[in-house]
Amino acid sequence: MREEKYFKMLENRWSNIWPHPSLPKEPVYPLGKIPDTGILGEVC
């Protein structure tokens, strides 16, 4: 299996078992943007 397909398959499973709808799907940095990087998404 190719890597892209492998992680797509896993992501589908993780979506199905995600523990709570309000839990963010990206880590939250409580002090806003991570310094010097703009947004956390950039480092994720």
> Is residue 4 close enough to count as binding other proteins by CB under 8 A?
no
The mark string for 11-30 relative to other proteins (x by CB under 8 A, - otherwise) is --xx-xx-xxxxxxxxxxxx
> Is residue 1 close enough to count as binding other proteins by CB under 8 A?
yes
Q: Find where tokens 């880590």 sit.
A: 27
CA 13 to chain centre: 14
Check: CB of residue 41 under 8 Å from CB of residue 26: yes
Alpha-carbon distance 24 to 44, whole Å? 13
Shortest reach from residue 8's CB to other proteins, in Å: 12
Binding site for other proteins (CB under 8 A): 1, 3, 6-7, 10, 13-14, 16-17, 19-31, 34-37, 40, 43-44
